[in-house]
Structure 1
Amino acid sequence: MGELKDRYIRFDWAIKRMLRDKANFAVLEGLLTVLFEDKTQIVEILESEGNQLAETDKFNRVDIKAKNSKGEIILVEVQNTREVYYLERILYGVAKTITEHISLGESYGNIKKVYSISIVYFDLGKGNDYLYHGQNRFIGVHADDELQITTKQEDALLPKYPREIFPEYYIIRVNEFNKVAKTPLEEWVNYLKTGEIEPETKAPGLSEAREKLKYYSMTPGERHAYDEHLNAIMIQNDVLSTAKMEGLAEGRAEGRAEGRAEGRAEGRAEGLEEGWAKGKAEGLLSTARKLKSMGMPPEDISLATGLTIEEIQEL
């Protein structure tokens, strides 16, 4: 019975289905609190996937868009599969959020700070850490000092740093975490990676997660959909891993044929990118067909694969 009791719902599933409920805010607040090193309270969950400017606007991958007690906007996104222009899409999502949340004609003073948190379950470049933080700071090229702006607020002149206004970015590279969890942050990343939560945890949000995210508290239908989600992820990752190896091999072959270092590098890059793109597309379609044949609703298939409802209906 211990094995059944200690199985918890993965975060990427919970963030789509359960953590949007106000009764479950404490779980997400715990992650944000340890990440920001500051007590964070969520006031409301904002619309995440609507307001597309056109049919070609494919940015619909923000899993949760929340507003904290300071009125700031927090984007939390989980990615299970690699995208070629991942960083560019993060930047686009933040810029889109800023413009969406200020009405035409409003003062720029109404712009709220945005925090972007990306939880990635794939190999994202090179780096030795599992957590990276990016923040805008304006540093003097010669004086090496940080620029401070004087701004008028409530009839008083106050100093302000650009980093207090500009977005902040957090990237959690889940697969790079290979430590024994000792701190609250490490406990959280361990849960993100393994789905395991220690019974005696004191980390903010994880004790609530132990109660809210128990696998066997779901209905049979929810468990079935969740298990299919995990299966879909495994299929996607297998396909993409194969595509990556094929793309790399093709790139090496092209490079060797040209017989120049430049040719090898270019061949590898083109082969790898082409292999990724082709493998991802074929993997998603294959996964969607299998899930559709098993009777999974189009909405759930869309969540698992990222395909639109229209694309799924045409399979």
Structure 2
Amino acid sequence: MCTQLFDPKVDYVFKNIFGSEKHPRILISFLNACIKPKEPIVEVKLKNTEITKEYIEDSFSRLDILAKTSTGELINIEMQRADERNMVKRSLYYWSKAYISEYTGKGAYANLPRTICINVLDFILLEEEKFHNKYLIQNASNNNLLTDTLELHFIEIPKMKDIDESDLLSIWVGFLEDPNNEKVISLERKVEELQEAKEELARISRDPKEAENYRMRENARNDRLNALLSAEEKGERKAKLEIAKSLKGILSDEIISEKTGLSLEEIKNL
């Protein structure tokens, strides 16, 4: 019987595959595919590998990946499936936290590391055509680079329409979108790290303990989405009431009800 594979876009699964000390080649391959450094990354050291039950059950916890390369770069990777309307500022915030985490005091600013944030998104965020976009600090007039210390990447999975076999990042995104995609399966024979990731995904998917963790993480995510939806609905209702108030005395209650969706009783009680 074939095992039903977990969704690798679930942050718990994503971290177990790409943030595992047992499988550093997977992370290195993904980083080289995304960052495309002049000198390929050959070694990484993971700095936050622990995943406790409290983290899994807490809907506000981040199961991100923080790694340091052999050349001293800090790289933070986050898998985010829901658009919470804060992704850009959220990325900058976590970039800043990673950046200052290496600060030792005594004005040693020159030793602060190049810090890169990679945001893998299962939703469309940017008004850009490409599925992968990189942002730097540049001169607004001539695009001269001020520093490479800050680098933000946004990978928007839904924007990738087909896997480009010549682009390793496209292959990895194809794996995240559907590990059983026929093209992904055919590429496993060519990309060893991809095959390793698929095997690790299958192992996790067969493990009853991992299945329980997967279920708890999905429940935590659903709880958070419901809370966000409830907050949005309350905000919309408040806005409708404010609009209705401003229209009282200008339009009839019947027209206000038609335009706002509020009941006549609600409008009369304003």
Tell me if TM exceeds 0.5: yes
Corresponding position of 2:202: 214
State the match for 1:130 in structure 2. 131
Distance 1:82 1:169, change over 3 A: same
Report if aligned partners of 2:15, 2:63 keep a CA contact under 8 Å in 1.
Answer: no
Tell me, in whole angstroms, the C-alpha distance in 1 between the residues paired with 2:213 and 2:178.
Answer: 19
| 1:88 shift after superposition | 1.9
- Alpha-carbon distance in 2 for matches of 1:225, 1:251: 39
Task: Name the residue aligned to 2:263.
Answer: none
Aligned to 1:10: 8
One-letter amino acid of the structure 2 residue matched with residue 199 of structure 1: I
Asked if the contact 2:204–2:210 (Cα under 8 Å) also holds between the matched residues in 1, the reply is no
Aligned AA (1:225)? N
- Asked if structure 1 preserves the Cα contact closer than 8 Å seen for 2:17 and 2:197, the reply is no
**Alignment partner, residue 94 of structure 2:** 93
**SS of the counterpart of 2:22?**
helix
Matched, 1:169 2:156: no
Could you tell me how far apart the structure 1 residues matched to 2:82 and 2:114 are? 28
Q: Match of 1:33, as an amino acid? A: N
Counterpart contact for 1:9–1:214, Cα < 8 Å: no
TM-superposed CA distance for 1:76, in Å, is 0.6
Find the aligned partners of 1:74 and 1:195 in 2 and give their Cα distance.
25
Q: CA deviation at 1:60?
A: 6.0
Classify 1:138/1:73 alpha carbon distance in 2 versus 1 (closer, same or farther; 3 Å). Answer: same
Q: Count residues with an aligned counterpart.
A: 231
Q: C-alpha separation between the residues in 1 aligned to 2:87 and 2:42?
A: 28
Which residue number in structure 2 is paired with residue 224 of structure 1?
Answer: 212
- The aligned residue for residue 117 of structure 2 is 116
| Structure 2 portions without partners, runs of 5+ | 51-59, 248-270
Equivalent residues in 2 for 1:30-109 (5 A)?
30-38=29-37, 39-47=40-48, 61=62, 63-105=64-106, 107-109=108-110
1:220-259 alignment, distance < 5 Å: 220-230=208-218, 232-233=220-221, 236-237=224-225, 240=228, 251=239, 258=246
**Computing the radius of gyration over CA atoms, which structure comes out larger, 1 or 2?**
2
Q: Following TM superposition, by how much is the alpha carbon of 1:214 offset from its aligned partner in structure 2, in angstroms?
A: 0.9
Letter in 2 for 1:178: K
- The residue type equivalent to 1:200 in the other structure is S
Distance (whole Å) between structure 2 residues aligned to residue 120 and residue 248 of structure 1: 26
**Structure 1 stretches of 5 or more lacking a match?**
50-58, 147-160, 260-315
Q: What's the secondary structure of 1:13's corresponding residue?
A: helix
Change (3 A) 1:191 1:253: farther
Please list the CA deviations of residues 187-244 of structure 1 after superposition, one character each: whole Å capped at 9, or x if unmatched. 2112223344622223473222022221566421212321343455456556756865
Q: Name the % identity.
A: 22
Shift in Å at residue 96 of structure 1?
2.0
Structure 2 counterpart SS, 1:101: coil
Once residues 106 and 207 of structure 1 are traced to their aligned partners in structure 2, the CA distance between those partners, rounded to angstroms, is 46
Q: 1:180 to 1:48 in 2, by over 3 A?
A: closer
Normalised by the size of structure 2, how large is the TM-score? 0.68
Match of 1:187 among 160, 171, 174: 171
